[in-house]
Amino acid sequence: MIVELLQFVLMVVRLRICPGSLKKYMRKDGENWALITGASDGIGKGISHRFAKAGLNLLIISRTESKLEALAKELTEKYKVKVEYLALDVAGNPKALDITWDFITAKVQPGDLRIAMNNVGMNMDVPAPIGQHTDDEIDRVIRVNCGYTTNMVTRFVRSYIPPKTGRYLLINMGSALGRLPTPYLAVYSASKAYINALSTAVSAEYPNLDVKAFTPFYVASPMTLTSRTNNMFISPRHFADLVVRSLNQKTVITNPHWYHALYHIMLSTLPESLRLSVTVKQMKVQQKKIIRKLKRDGRLAPQWEEKKSE
């Protein structure tokens, strides 16, 4: 625990005294582009604003075209950058990867795509024991969080990182739940642990590529079903600022928010049996809240109707 606390203090000091920057990934000559998946809401939208503010042109991908169109217009007018967008349901389209890269290669030349952020992800609809989730739901989470992300990483390093053309940045969105195995979200938790392992391994393979896996607890977004913010549920814009400020951290797996980092240290020091027991109790409470909210919004899947009445 002492080592973890020292690392925490060092992280906080670095964030305040010598924050990171996007400038080292941007060339003075030629165009500088960043790719962001899952860009129309939450973390992706916050990152889009932060990157555009730094002067990066953007390729943004998400499911809802109307949101992408509005975001592209806003970013173009506010920051005077180029924005290209692609509306794509990654989970529902079996050709999503090929469609994604046809779009990218049509818009950006190798060497111009300086940053890629794999932010698109799926969670379980409702926290529950693994046997209560449908096969389709489980397959969807694994396919998007693991399969699509892995293939995006592979194509990025294969096609868009020519040697001796400066530094590049790859960001994979992880989760604190990937560092702390989480009952009732077992598949999602495991998929994010995979992201951590993938990111750490790839970081050692390409000398001119910086790799980061960010692992917050909760960011206020449609995925977390809340817009209220506090120390646990931070705003997307705040998180985006922390992402950039923490780019000088030496570790691949990074939790840039002080409260989230401290909370992780606290949980990781508990005996695992105690932590898992407490987590199950918390998840049962969350399950009821989420079912009620989905019911109000008319988005509750039939399989959870019986659970609601228990």
- Whether the pLDDT of residue 309 is over 50: the answer is no
State whether residue 296 is helix, strand or coil.
helix
Q: How confident is the model at residue 182 (pLDDT cuts 50, 70, 90)?
A: very high
> What tokens appear for 204 in the block?
């050692």
Domains of the chain plus CATH, in order, are 14-272 (3.40.50.720)
Would strands 113-118 and 218-219 be described as parallel, antiparallel, or unpaired? unpaired
| The residue type at 174 | G
* Dihedral angle of Cα 23, 154, 48, 188, to the nearest 10 degrees: -130
State whether residue 21 is helix, strand or coil.
coil
pLDDT in tens, 235-257: 999 999 999 999 988 899 998 88
pTM score: 0.91
With both helix axes pointing from N to C terminus, report the angle between 186-203 and 149-159 in degrees, rounded to the nearest 10: 20
- Whether the pLDDT of residue 5 is over 70: the answer is no
Q: How confident is the model at residue 3 (pLDDT cuts 50, 70, 90)?
A: low
The mean pLDDT value for 14-31 works out to 84
Report yes or no: 87 and 100 within 8 Å, Cβ to Cβ: no
Mean pLDDT for the chain? 91
- Whether the pLDDT of residue 297 is over 90: the answer is no
Sheet with 253-254, side-by-side order of all strands: 83-87, 57-62, 33-37, 113-118, 168-173, 209-214, 253-254
Cβ-based neighbours of 38, under 8 Å, separated by 6 or more: 44, 61, 62, 119, 120, 121, 173
pLDDT in tens, 64-96: 999 999 999 999 999 999 999 999 999 999 999
pLDDT of residue 1: 64
pLDDT in tens, 265-291: 889 889 999 999 999 999 999 999 999
Q: How confident is the model at residue 205 (pLDDT cuts 50, 70, 90)?
A: very high
pLDDT of residue 34: 98
pLDDT of residue 306: 65
- Whether the pLDDT of residue 8 is over 80: the answer is no
- Whether the pLDDT of residue 308 is over 60: the answer is no
The mean pLDDT value for 133-150 works out to 97
